[in-house]
Amino acid sequence: MAISLGELASAFDCELRGDADIRVSEVASLGNASPAAVSFLSSNAFKQQLAETKAAAVVLRAADADDCPTACLINDNPYACYARIADKLYPQPAIEAGVHDRAFVAPSAKVASSAQVAALATICDDAVVEDNCYVGPGCVIGSGCQVGAGSRLLANVTLVRNVLLGKRALIHPGSVIGSDGFGNAMTPQGWVKVPQLGRVIIGDDVEIGANCAIDLGALDDTIIESGVRLDNLVHIAHNCKIGEHTALAGQVGLAGSAVIGKRCMFAGQVGMTGHIELCDDVIVSGKGMITKSITEPGFYANGFPAEPNKEWNQKVARFRRLGNLMERVSKLEKDKS
């Protein structure tokens, strides 16, 4: 589809500098944009490309407008504004209401007439699929699960049981929600499985990446509040709670009963032990390991960035000698006293 810059400015609360009648039909990076494209500048790292861009218009902040050689859509948050424009130019495929002949819907399940259920999907007993949902090929909606209105489950998503999914969720392929938590009790004869009797409750406007695993609560519920974003390969253990608009990057893992506040951000491979809490607005850098509750907002890091192997080996050798050094210092302090 094509749309004029004037329409975009009006729709997304931008100040337009340039010809309102110019029409655009695509989005692109500054360096690869064509005269039919809208691009954006949100970081000074790409400022050099701005002068040479061939884009029809660039979404940017007011402070960068004088350096733009083409039309400008001025907005305080260029990246978010660009995302909304991209969504406008590349809308999701329309729902084609109906149940595919090769899908299975249990007699006691309820599927809205406006929903689409693709081939080889299975809707189990007492499951509910609300209005304008898309249930992709190979998906399984387990017994007692509920899919909120406007949600989209892409291929091979599984809601195992007792999952309440809010409105407008987007679940990417291969994710499993509502599997048993890792509950086991040791006895002299070996492990005894602890029944997982809680639910998974997911709020509105949540996006869950590919191949994530979100476990049922053991007794209480696992809760993911509205607006949360999970990247691929994230694991949420039983009884965890994640606050609104928190974002967890790939390979993050939360142990049981971990609680994360609102608007937190975890970089890749962050781990969090169970039964601790994070306050709102905490940012954790990649490979960080959280072992204690955090009560003050801010940026936290404890991973080791990569460095040349020789330097790393030297530091490891020094670390191994640290015990002897402490003993020597302690002895010197005693002798001095």
Give catalytic residues, as residue numbers.
238
Beta strands of 106-156 (E only): which ranges?
110-111, 116-117, 122-123, 128-129, 134-135, 140-141, 146-147, 152-153
Beta strands of 194-336 (E only): which ranges?
200-202, 207-208, 213-215, 222-224, 229-230, 235-236, 241-242, 247-248, 253-254, 259-260, 265-266, 271-272, 282-284, 289-290, 298-300
Helices 322-336 and 309-320 cross at an angle (nearest 10°) of 40
Whether 131 contacts 147, CB under 8 Å: no
Whether 110 contacts 128, CB under 8 Å: yes
Q: Which two tokens stand for residue 45?
A: 């790292």
Q: What is the DSSP letter of 67?
A: G
Parallel, antiparallel or unpaired: strands 37-40 and 271-272:
unpaired
Q: What is the DSSP letter of 318?
A: H
72 DSSP β-pair partners: 17, 58
Q: Find the helix or strand (DSSP H, E) in which 172 lies.
A: none
d(CA 315, CA 313): 5
302 DSSP β-pair partners: none
Q: What is the DSSP letter of 82?
A: H
| Alpha carbon distances (Å) from 216 to 148, 196, 326 | 18, 6, 47
